Amino acid sequence: MTDGPRNLSNSLRTDRDHANDSSRPKAATPHQMILSYRIADSVEPTPLDARTFAQIRFGHRHLRSEDPRALTVGLAPLGPSQPLEHWGVERIEDLGWEGGMGFVEGEDLMLAHRLIEDTDRNALAATTEALYTEMLDLTARRGYPHPLRLWNLVEAIHDPADGQDGYRAFSTGRANAFDRAGFGIERIPAASAIGTHCGGLLVYGLFARSPGTAVENPRQVPAYRYPPEYGIRPPYFARAMRGAGGLSDRLFLSGTASVVGHASNHPDQPEAQLTETLRNLETLIEATGAPGGRRPDLLRVYVRAPHEIDWIEPTLRHWCGPATAIQYLRGAICRRDLAIEIEGVLEPCVAAN
Ligand code: 3EB
């Protein structure tokens, strides 16, 4: 669904005038550009102001609004969730819509999102490739050529598409687009790819002016080197990405599941999968050079079966401690035999650098 995201409202214009006011000094400390990244306990949209970079909510369907900073992702929040994601910045440089793509620019960081509602199942790879090509082109053209973190929401991810599993068709299109844009492996971002009940194909993500640093998990084969049994083209994502510049060394952990080597461990055993997933997260965090025992500040948990959160919640809370903000969303993991996937964000930590 679209609320007519074509024209910017008057109130927004005030923000833009403010942001573009050249008499304002450039931020002396661009490394502090992102003031906050938090999730909150609000289902209602809160008013966007001059310091709002993005406000992402979760609900029963994908929804864009006139203001490209507000986006609703069609995944239902579950249990004790905090279904609002808020990014605050020092100032907005520009924002708008171009060819159906919403974008927001801060100093060092760009948000881009694109929703294609009516995807042809017989052309999912081609649709994905076109969407990615457009997004990589627009972001690079506007000075943000480095994707750091991408979220992919794929309708009916396991249903056949192009004569194969939908996720594999999606992976093919994504890999082709990155190849076509001339990306080396070191520039492939952190990502999640989740199945939804409706909504076509939604991709949104963060792009930077300066390159981030990809981190791999020693327990896992890099996804872009998975053998062909997972698809003609492998899934192009890094296990984690550390942001540079205005991202203040924030660390984005990709969707992490019970995958060891390249195989799904404990197929269809959710409890063993959670244990394996947490081990993967611990190993990944360690691989980033963070202090031992460091836990993410934000966690987002995707579960296939909503009732599973009854036991996942206390186990996960015990693992991460009271300080971590956690979101639970209902979503299909991109491999049928996986029941749970967890992604996270680690806020800058002086000792980690
Ligand atoms: C895995 O480790 C599980 O295709 O973008 C996790 C994170 C997974 C991102 C993606 C897929 C993706 O292979 C699946």
Cβ 102 under 6 angstroms from ligand 1: no
Nearest CA to ligand 1 atom 3: 257
For 262, 314, 317, the CA distances from 311, given in Å and listed in that order, are: 27, 6, 10
Mutate which of 220, 260, 266, 334 for ligand 1? The one with the most ligand atoms within 8 Å of its CB, which is 334
Residues 42-71 have a mean pLDDT of 90
Q: Which atom of ligand 1 is nearest to the CA of 226?
A: 13
* CA 172 to centroid of ligand 1, rounded, Å: 13
Residue 33 has a pLDDT of: 59
Q: How would residue 83 be classed by pLDDT, with cut points 50, 70 and 90?
A: confident
CA 84 to chain centre: 14
Q: How would residue 37 be classed by pLDDT, with cut points 50, 70 and 90?
A: confident
**Mean pLDDT score across all residues of the chain:** 88
> What element of type H or E holds 281?
helix 270-287
Residue 290 phi, psi (nearest 5): -70, 155
Domain ranges (residues) in the chain: 5-346
Query: Which homologous superfamily is 5-346 in?
Result: RutC-like (3.30.1330.40)
Q: What pLDDT digit, counting tens, does each position of 286-311 carry?
A: 999 998 899 999 999 999 999 999 99
Residues 112-129 have a mean pLDDT of 96
Q: What pLDDT digit, counting tens, does each position of 149-168 carry?
A: 999 999 999 999 999 999 99
**Residue 28, Cβ density class (10 Å: 0-12 exposed, 13-18 middle, ≥19 buried):** exposed
With 90 as the cut, is the pLDDT of residue 246 above it? no
Residue 43 has a pLDDT of: 67
d(CA 152, CA 284): 21
pTM value > 0.75: yes
Q: What pLDDT digit, counting tens, does each position of 189-242 carry?
A: 999 999 999 899 999 999 999 999 999 999 999 999 999 988 899 999 999 999
155 has catalytic annotation: no
**Which of 190, 173, 191 is CA-nearest to residue 233?**
173
**In this structure, how many other beta carbons lie within 10 angstroms of the beta carbon of residue 29?**
10
d(CA 238, CA 53): 24
Q: What pLDDT digit, counting tens, does each position of 109-120 carry?
A: 999 999 999 999
The catalytically annotated residue of 134, 276, 308, 341 is 341
**Which of 262, 289, 270 is CA-nearest to residue 346?**
289
In this predicted model, which residue has the larger pLDDT, 22 or 334?
334
CB of 220 closer than 8 Å to CB of 116:
no
With 80 as the cut, is the pLDDT of residue 248 above it? no
* CA 4 to centroid of ligand 1, rounded, Å: 32
Residues 248-265 have a mean pLDDT of 95
